[in-house]
Structure 1
Amino acid sequence: MSVAVIDRNDVVLRGRVSAPAEIRTLPSGDNLLTFRLVVRRPVPRARGQSVDVLSCITYDRALQRRMALWQPGDVVEVEGALQRRFWRTGTGTASVCEVNCRRGRKVPRSAGSSEERSA
């Protein structure tokens, strides 16, 4: 059985941008755009958080140009894969889990939508 049949790593998120995106140049020379997406949980816990703040990245330059224009509060939808990235620090190895986006779009706000009223 092929890996494509066994494994699947597809993430689709819709939420609000929490802060302006940042572009960093990695030691490898690659440019990495990072931003955080605030996504409401489908069923909030009785006590505790009602949202998740998720780290998203992209290495795709065309996508970086579009995402760099997103502003805090914009409602966006992204598609990608959950990945764990590693790097060396002065004390060892560090890692982070992120959504590596292959697509992203701003979701138009329709006047008076139920989503806006409940937000």
Structure 2
Amino acid sequence: MSTRRAGAVPAPTPGVGARTPGPERNEISLCGRLSAPAEERTLPSGDVIVTLRVVIPRLGTTRRPGLKRQGEARPGQVDTIDVVCWSARSRRAALRIAAGSTVEVEGALRRRFFGTPAGRQSRYEVEAASVRRLADDGPTAT
């Protein structure tokens, strides 16, 4: 006899984008321009990854006292976000997108550690669960 309530949803399998019980979660959703074509790399372990960089105009609150307008673009300021695709599906999708295209990336924020001649370092990047090209609005104004 099952003890599960009617209408109850089973817990998702842990992974990128999977919800955990409680308020904690690691979910990233980005929309921006692909700065260059995605690059495929084979790691020393034999794993194949695809990396890409998404450029997003920085939005924020104006700095003038008394004014708090959210979502106003700060001229010339952008955030450049490194994205890595591990799954075959996300790798294929990323490799099909041309540089300059508007993309949407969903996934999780990860901190990666690596060794350099100067010692151990770390970097934050988005581990993509999905990557897709969005319809462009046309040419951007210069």
Q: Normalising by the residue count of structure 1, what TM-score does the alignment of the two structures yield?
A: 0.81
2:126 partner letter = V
Does 1:37 pair with 2:54? yes
Does 1:5 pair with 2:22? yes
Q: CA deviation at 1:45?
A: 6.5
State which of 88, 95, 99 in structure 1 corresponds to 2:122.
Answer: 95
Give the Cα separation in 1 of the matches to 2:75 and 2:132: 30
Give the Cα separation in 2 of the matches to 1:22 and 1:58: 10
Between 86-95 and 23-32, report the one with greater CA deviation.
86-95
Give the Cα separation in 1 of the matches to 2:60 and 2:141: 14
Q: CA deviation at 1:62?
A: 1.7
User: How many pairs align?
Assistant: 113
Q: Structure 2, unaligned stretches of length 5 or more? A: 1-19, 64-73
SS in 2 for 1:8: coil
SS in 1 for 2:91: helix
Between 71-80 and 23-32, report the one with greater CA deviation.
23-32
Q: CA deviation at 1:44?
A: 7.3
Q: Structure 1, unaligned stretches of length 5 or more? A: none
Give the Cα separation in 1 of the matches to 2:49 and 2:78: 25
Q: CA deviation at 1:88?
A: 2.5
CA displacement 1:13-45 (0-9 Å, x = unmatched): 000000011111112211111110001112377
* RMSD (Å) for aligned C-alpha atoms: 2.4
Q: Kindly indicate whether the alpha-carbon contact (under 8 Å) linking 1:81 and 1:101 is maintained by their aligned counterparts in 2.
A: yes
1:21 partner letter = A
Aligned-pair identity in percent equals: 37
